[in-house]
Amino acid sequence: MPVVNALTGESRDAALCSAVLGASNSTCAEATWSQSLPAWIGSHVRAFAARGGVPQVVVPAHLKAAVSRAHRYEPALNRTYAELAQPSDVAIVPARAARPRDKAKVEVGVPVVARWSLARLRPHTVFSRQELHTALTDLLVALNRRPFKKLPGSRPSVFAALDRPALRPLPAQPYAYAAGTLVRVHIDDHVEVDGHYSAVPYALVKQQREARLRAQVGDICHKGSRVARHHRAPLRGRHSTVAAPMPKAHQHDAAWTPQRLILWAAKTGEATAQVVETMLTSRPHPQQGFRACWGMMRLGKPSGEGQLEAACHRASRLGACSYQSIASILQHDLDPQPLPGPPAAAPVLTHSNSRGAPYYHPHPGAPIG
């Protein structure tokens, strides 16, 4: 169904996602922009909510969002799609490729929705997906209320008698789509997810873990269990760190600690140690400065300790104790150049036209008005 942008006049086709219950043929459908995984998951969640329960078996089409690896006997489900079924213990049995009879109910239901709803909407211009969804909902209510031609009753009556008692209860919390990605825990007990650094338990340092990203929160998982949760922050390069201090056992046993970083910097020079200490103490948590200090260590390898010490001295004098500032100093060879001094005082001019302060205040202590 084409949807027209009211501002630009551009037309975009909306796809139709339809679901049909087995006994009553109760049909629900909605308009989506694509057959992507987020749209596919969202359509399932809303279809379950519309019927007030979850069926025991779901027979989906053989599309990529449902089946990650096709096989005649053992198809592999998309991992996110499989997670959708876990809370309600739903069995997902994908239809075989090129076997429409495996999902005969919806194969008949889609043309019925197209003839009943889309055919009526085509003479009209739709300007938003929400407008199309509202029109579809109203038309589907009328479709489901039509009495059967060859059977007694209608879809609502058979749904109440057969389908509704067989549905399982909805989960306490609706499933929220989560995008998965692999991350590695850094030496500062943080993982980088979408440009933001989130703290995880210190025992997972240097290990690879899975991040599950939802609209508002992000979960870090270890062997299928959540080990950390943070609210997703839009600020890139910032940290989300727990308020509890790093455990003492980690202070002594971890590969990198604030004390070790400062001792390393002291071997290079006093200015380098001062910069490292500033990086660690200027953050709410010292671990948030580990990456910057580690980056400084790498800067010193190609340039040499003497050049790094000179760059840190310059950065300290300028009040620019950051990795970016030191990297810029080394990149532009500013470390050997003299530091800018304080501005010179303006010379005092004395000549016959100079009046001096007594000219303006001839009587000391006199009021000025």
Using 70 as the pLDDT threshold, list the residues of the chain that sit under it: 178-256, 284-288, 340-369
Tell me how many domains the chain contains: 3
Which long-range contacts does 63-71 make (Cβ < 8 Å, 24+ apart)?
63/35, 64/35, 65/35, 65/36, 65/37, 65/39, 65/40, 65/41, 66/40, 66/92, 66/94, 67/94, 70/97
Helix axis angle, 270-281 relative to 258-268, nearest 10°? 150
d(CA 144, CA 159): 10
Q: What is the pLDDT of residue 70?
A: 86
Question: How many C-beta atoms lie closer than 10 Å to residue 53's C-beta?
Answer: 17
Question: Which of 142, 166, 190 is the endpoint of a domain?
Answer: 166
Q: What is the pLDDT of residue 214?
A: 54
Whole-angstrom Cα Rg for the chain: 34
Single pTM value for the model: 0.57
Three-class SS of residue 249?
helix
Question: Which of 247, 279, 301 is the endpoint of a domain?
Answer: 247
Q: What is the pLDDT of residue 179?
A: 64
Co-location of 226 and 290 in the same domain = no
Co-location of 273 and 155 in the same domain = no
Does the residue 239 lie in any domain?
A: yes
Phi/psi at 310 (nearest 5 deg)? -65, -40
Co-location of 152 and 52 in the same domain = yes
Q: What is the pLDDT of residue 243?
A: 42
Q: Which residues constitute the domain of residue 202? A: 179-247
Q: How does pLDDT run across 264-276, given as a tens digit for each residue?
A: 888 888 888 888 8
Q: What is the pLDDT of residue 74?
A: 82
Q: Are 154 and 147 in contact (CB under 8 A)?
A: yes
The position carrying tokens 């043929």 is 25
Phi/psi at 188 (nearest 5 deg)? -95, 15
Question: Which of 221, 247, 273 is the endpoint of a domain?
Answer: 247
List, in sequence order, every beta strand (DSSP E) within the chain.
2-4, 11-13, 15-20, 27-32, 57-58, 67-69, 76-77, 91-92, 179-184, 190-193, 196-199, 208-213, 217-222, 225-231, 239-240
Does the residue 366 lie in any domain?
A: no
Helix axis angle, 305-318 relative to 323-331, nearest 10°? 120
Co-location of 149 and 205 in the same domain = no
Q: What is the pLDDT of residue 162?
A: 95
Co-location of 107 and 222 in the same domain = no
Co-location of 157 and 56 in the same domain = yes
Phi/psi at 213 (nearest 5 deg)? -105, 120
Q: What is the pLDDT of residue 132?
A: 92
Q: What is the pLDDT of residue 368?
A: 46
Does the residue 262 lie in any domain?
A: yes
Co-location of 10 and 153 in the same domain = yes
Co-location of 151 and 55 in the same domain = yes
Q: What is the pLDDT of residue 52?
A: 94
SS (H, E, C) 100-125: HHHHHHHHHHHHHHHHHHHHHHCCCC
Q: What is the pLDDT of residue 360?
A: 41
Does the residue 92 lie in any domain?
A: yes
Q: What is the pLDDT of residue 209?
A: 53
d(CA 265, CA 275): 9
